[in-house]
Structure 1
Amino acid sequence: MKISRKELLNGFIAGLTATVVLTLIMIMKKLVGIAPALDPIEMLTEMASDRLGVALGPGIGWFMHFVIGSVTWGGAMAIFSSFLPSQSQTLKGVVLAVGAWLLMMVVLMPMAGEGLFGLAIGPQAPVMTFIFHAIFGAVLGATYRLLNDEHTLFSFKQAEG
């Protein structure tokens, strides 16, 4: 299977869009005071600081958050879309994001010292992060579909040549 530059770029744009939506939800969660111990940006910042052996500010956590969402998962959407189950791109995005959630729960949460499924934070951690990932995935898949549909306003024409 060959992926075009257009599809990959659309994956990155869809990933960025989904990351912006997720970020807004994370900010609202924090402002309302729901699960304050669940702070992925702080976790990413602390993990990077620990690995590099220097104190880093939250900017590195935000940078990592946007790179992971836009490049890693947006790119994965473009690359794996044809292999994911379902005819619906939105559902394909959710499936991909649930895979990302599972990876976060069994690899990143323990690496961050929060235990398997983040249960050291509390039982709300796996539930909230699952919901957030499902929303991220739905936005990712829907945006990717819109960008690749030649009959929508949002599609980008690939330059001839």
Structure 2
Amino acid sequence: MTQHRLRKGFVYGVAATIAMSILMLLALVSEVSPVPQPIPKAVVTQFFGSGIPKPLLMALAVGLHLGYGGLFGAVLARVARPVTIQQGLALSIGLWAVMQVTFLPFLGWGVFGTAITPKIAGATLVLHLVYGGVLGCAMDRDTSSAAGASPTTTD
């Protein structure tokens, strides 16, 4: 049953990452985002350099982002029973905080993005709250519907 629960958490994490990414891309395309480029793309470029072919760069960035989101969906499914929206939001705030003090400085953007603009911290917080809200809501609804189905279908 635990593997099934982890798989579901991973899938919900990927779905939540897609929701977050849609909002991120809409903000970038509409030029309201203070982020100069998608962070997963910036991380991959930092690791592999700017000479990487664009299709490979994008595939790696998307894979990294979806994999990271899925992994933490599985982690949440593993450590919280049942998962609530509040737990999804708490996870997302934790992930956001780690990103602010590790990934952004790694990119040269400074802690909380302050080397570019402090608006990055707020924008990325909103995106992470979307991730956590979608993840927590989906997992909470799944747990609620499974609990109402029958005792043999719960994990």
What TM bracket, shorter-length normalisation? 0.7 to 0.9
Identity percentage of aligned residues: 21
> Secondary structure of 1:33's match?
coil
- For structure 1, the residue ranges without an aligned partner over 5 or more in a row are none
Indicate which of 98, 106, 113 corresponds to 2:101. Answer: 106
Number of the residue aligned with 1:134: 129
Which deviations, in whole Å up to 9, do the C-alpha atoms of 1:81-125 show, x marking residues without a partner?
24xxxx871010000010000100011111111111111220110
Aligned residues: 146
Number of the residue aligned with 2:16: 18
Residue 79 (str. 1) matches residue 45 (str. 2):
no
- C-alpha separation in 2, matches of 1:73 and 1:66: 10
- For structure 2, the residue ranges without an aligned partner over 5 or more in a row are none
> Secondary structure of 2:76's match?
helix
Correspondence list, 1:19-98, <5 A: 19-34=17-32, 35-50=34-49, 55=52, 57-70=57-70, 72-82=71-81, 89-98=84-93
Contact 1:110 1:118 in 2 (8 A): yes
Contact 1:16 1:69 in 2 (8 A): yes
Contact 1:7 1:148 in 2 (8 A): no
TM-score (norm: length of structure 1)? 0.80
Bigger fraction of residues in helix: 2
Contact 2:77 2:83 in 1 (8 A): no
Contact 2:12 2:138 in 1 (8 A): yes
Contact 1:45 1:60 in 2 (8 A): yes
TM-score (norm: length of structure 2)? 0.83
